[in-house]
Amino acid sequence: MFKGARKNDVKQIASELNLEVNEKNTLWDIIELIKNSEAYKENFESVKVIAELVIEERKRHEQSQVEIEKLKLELEVATAQAEIKNTSCEGESQDSLETLIKSVRTLNS
């Protein structure tokens, strides 16, 4: 159930179950707190669904952030390409453009 979960994920799960967590609690402390809770003992399936939703939402958010970064890099590449076309000095701009293109390709991998 907690496979792939991060500390913030289990903190959010605990919060959804109205469990108190502080910054000193480790990931494993919070998981144990959840497993020892009445909600977990009485309705395991509901807790499992909450955990899955929290983890899925975090992963979707991370993927959205990656997509945004890719778009920003693509925009920078397009801007750099347009800039190169408008200038006769290609030396430094070309190096910068190649670096941006490599960054975009790395993100697409």
Give the DSSP letter string of 39-74.
HHHH-HHHHHHHHHHHHHHHHHHHHHHHHHHHHHHH
Mean pLDDT across the stretch 78-87? Answer: 80
pTM of the model: 0.67
Q: What average pLDDT does the chain have? A: 87
| CA nearest to 77, candidates 97, 49, 95, 102 | 97
Mean pLDDT across the stretch 35-59? Answer: 95
pLDDT in tens, 48-64: 999 999 999 999 999 99
pLDDT of residue 94: 63
Query: What's 4's DSSP letter?
Result: T
pLDDT of residue 6: 94
Please, which residues have CB within 8 angstroms of residue 55's CB and are 6 or more apart in sequence? Answer: 4, 5, 9
pLDDT of residue 10: 96
Give the largest Cα separation in the chain, rounded: 72
